[in-house]
Amino acid sequence: MTTRTAASAAAEAVRTAGEEGVPCMVMRGGTSKGLYFLAEDLPADRTARDALLLRLMGSPDTRQIDGLGGAHPLTSKVAVVSARPGGGVDYLFLQVSVDEATVSDRQNCGNILAGVGPFAIERGLVPAQEGTTSVLIHMLNTGSEALATVSTPGRKVTYAGDAAIAGVPGTASPVVLDYRGTAGSSCGALFPTGNRRDEFAGVEVTCVDNGMPVVVVDAAALGVTGTESPAELEADARLCAAVEAVRLEAGAAMGLGDVTDATVPKVCLVSPARSGGTFGTRCFIPKRVHEAIGVFAGASAAVAWAVPGTVIAELAGDHGSDGIRVEHPTGHTDLVVSVEVDRETAGQDEPADGPPHQSPAPRVLVTGSVRTARKLMDGLAFA
Ligand code: NQM
């Protein structure tokens, strides 16, 4: 399509959606909130689709006052879902920028993912079973998969339940998620630089990708404790500049190219646990600081913690356990992350003489979490 035709297709898509509306479900997924669409209800042309989504969200505008977005990256998200030939569903995650006219598919979102199973059942893409229904979700952003188990008593999705997740008031029905193929799914390798430690912009880091490209840094190395609030961290201009300098160098070394305008990699400041968890986190996503932590960002940081030789491997915690409690600004996220490592030799320097260690590369065996989701509104969205 020429630029001119793409622009007029975009204008036409927005005009039609302004008059007729677009079928849309608003859901909370985990600690995020977003708009869920069937792919067939959005324009197939990308320029037209993005123009429509920007208009629906009210972007660009720091308040998103003329749209459905919540004026924060965590509430300016979109799931596009369709039946997958051969079974299950396809899920494309789109991050709609709040204050810029951009829509990005460069990252996945494990929180919005929590609503995809319920949405797919509600829209009839997957038949509900008695009791629980499993939905195999193919995550298009990373090419990995999630098996979501959704409560469906009486063959109907139920959102009421007794599962609590930190960062969300009250309780809701659990959505149990098992992930497959997350290791290296964005960057091609679990440790994308080939190292367990690197130095970027004068700071020692570990670059890791277990579903999300993450640069893990010991908070102390950046002169903070890791207990500061997101607002305090965002107000610290020195810190934000240091984080961004590290991120730009790390992103290139992780094979992500120039990440100036990209939402990945995230930079996760890690510190000792303070409330009985495994370790504490403050996650730059990347300009704002997460009020909790992304599921895949947490699962990636967990790998860094579990593997000897990384910048946070020495943090306290039971390294024999697969249950990992990631502390964050509004509580904690429980994850199951099991990594096979050779603890005797992994991370050690190669011997100066004699044959190199034959220790196998760490292998992620299991990654899983429990999230909740809630249907907030189902109807037509007007552009
Ligand atoms: O890491 C926000 C979130 C996310 C990402 C972000 C996420 C994940 O909604 O799996 O879900 O990091 O931009 O928590």
**Best mutation site among 32, 215, 369 for ligand 1, i.e. most ligand atoms within 8 A of its Cβ?**
32
How far apart are the CA of 358 and the centre of ligand 1, in A?
35
Q: Is the pLDDT of residue 262 over 80?
A: yes
CA distances from 232 to 95, 288, 332 (A): 24, 11, 19
pLDDT score of 258: 97
Judge whether 378 and 17 are in contact, CB under 8 Å: no
In a domain, 269, yes or no: yes
In a domain, 358, yes or no: no
pLDDT score of 356: 47
Whether 347 and 376 share a structural domain: no
84: alpha, beta or left, given left = phi > 0 and alpha = psi -120 to 50?
beta
Name residue 315's beta-bridge partners: none
Find out whether the beta carbon of 367 lies less than 6 Å from any atom of ligand 1: no
Instruction: Give the confidence band of 6 by pLDDT, cuts at 50, 70, 90.
Output: confident
In a domain, 294, yes or no: yes
pLDDT score of 127: 97
In a domain, 106, yes or no: yes
Residue 367 CA to residue 300 CA, distance in Å, equals: 10
| Ligand 1 atom with the shortest distance to the CA of 74 | 9
Whether 334 and 240 share a structural domain: yes
In a domain, 189, yes or no: no
How far apart are the CA of 109 and the centre of ligand 1, in A?
5
pLDDT score of 346: 47
What is the pairing mode between strands 144-152 and 174-180? antiparallel
Mean pLDDT confidence for 58-65: 98
Taking only the tens place, the pLDDT of each residue in 201-228 is 999 999 999 999 999 999 999 999 999 9
Q: Is the pLDDT of residue 363 over 70?
A: yes
In a domain, 145, yes or no: yes
Whether 264 and 322 share a structural domain: yes
Whether 157 and 204 share a structural domain: no
Residue 336 CA to residue 136 CA, distance in Å, equals: 19
Judge whether 341 and 170 are in contact, CB under 8 Å: no
CATH number of the domain residue 321 falls in: 3.10.310.10
Domain count across the chain: 2
How far apart are the CA of 25 and the centre of ligand 1, in A?
20
DSSP one-letter string for 199-242: EETTEEEEEEEBSSEEEEEEGGGGT--S-S-HHHHHT-HHHHHH
pLDDT score of 7: 85
Instruction: Give the confidence band of 358 by pLDDT, cuts at 50, 70, 90.
Output: very low
Find out whether the beta carbon of 93 lies less than 6 Å from any atom of ligand 1: no
Residue 134 CA to residue 328 CA, distance in Å, equals: 29
pLDDT score of 5: 82
Whether 19 and 97 share a structural domain: yes
* 343 vs 305, more confident: 305
Least Cα distance to 329 among 264, 285, 359 occurs for 285
Q: Is the pLDDT of residue 96 over 80?
A: yes
Whether 152 and 29 share a structural domain: yes
Whether 287 and 336 share a structural domain: yes
In a domain, 344, yes or no: yes
Q: Which domain holds residue 88?
A: 3-182+372-381
pLDDT score of 343: 59
Instruction: Give the confidence band of 318 by pLDDT, cuts at 50, 70, 90.
Output: low
Q: Where are the beta strands (DSSP E) in the chain?
A: 22-29, 32-38, 77-83, 89-96, 103-104, 131-139, 144-152, 174-180, 198-200, 203-209, 213-218, 266-272, 279-284, 323-328, 331-340, 363-381
Judge whether 48 and 9 are in contact, CB under 8 Å: yes
Whether 26 and 165 share a structural domain: yes
How far apart are the CA of 35 and the centre of ligand 1, in A?
15
Instruction: Give the confidence band of 361 by pLDDT, cuts at 50, 70, 90.
Output: confident
Q: Is the pLDDT of residue 347 over 60?
A: no
Whether 175 and 57 share a structural domain: yes
Q: Is the pLDDT of residue 160 over 50?
A: yes
Residue 74 CA to residue 368 CA, distance in Å, equals: 21
Please count the CA atoms within 13 angstroms of the CA of 97 that sit on its side-chain side.
15
Taking only the tens place, the pLDDT of each residue in 134-150 is 999 999 999 999 999 99
Which class for 316: exposed (0-12), middle (13-18), buried (19 or more C-beta within 10 A)?
exposed
Q: Is the pLDDT of residue 320 over 70?
A: no
Find out whether the beta carbon of 110 lies less than 6 Å from any atom of ligand 1: yes
| Mean model confidence pLDDT for the chain | 93
Whether 207 and 343 share a structural domain: yes
| Ligand 1 atom with the shortest distance to the CA of 29 | 9
Instruction: Give the confidence band of 321 by pLDDT, cuts at 50, 70, 90.
Output: confident
Find out whether the beta carbon of 296 lies less than 6 Å from any atom of ligand 1: yes
Q: Which tokens belong to 65?
A: 């006052």
Find out whether the beta carbon of 268 lies less than 6 Å from any atom of ligand 1: no
How far apart are the CA of 73 and the centre of ligand 1, in A?
9
Taking only the tens place, the pLDDT of each residue in 240-257 is 999 999 999 999 999 999
Find out whether the beta carbon of 139 lies less than 6 Å from any atom of ligand 1: no
Q: For ligand 1, atom 4, name the residue with the nearest CA.
A: 294
Neighbours of 156 (CB within 10 A): 11
Residue 265 CA to residue 296 CA, distance in Å, equals: 12
Residue with token string 């509104």: 377
Q: Is the pLDDT of residue 350 over 60?
A: no
Whether 173 and 25 share a structural domain: yes
Q: Is the pLDDT of residue 81 over 60?
A: yes
Q: Is the pLDDT of residue 345 over 90?
A: no
CA angle 71-143-328, nearest 5°? Answer: 45
pLDDT score of 50: 97
In a domain, 361, yes or no: no
Percent of the residues in the chain that have a pLDDT greater than 70, as a whole number:
94
Residue 296 CA to residue 175 CA, distance in Å, equals: 16
Find out whether the beta carbon of 266 lies less than 6 Å from any atom of ligand 1: yes
Judge whether 328 and 283 are in contact, CB under 8 Å: yes
Whether 219 and 103 share a structural domain: no
- For 37-68, b where at least 16 C-beta lie within 10 A, e where not — what string? bbbebbbebebbbbbbbbbbbbbebeebeebb
Q: Is the pLDDT of residue 115 over 70?
A: yes
Q: Which tokens belong to 206?
A: 């570990």
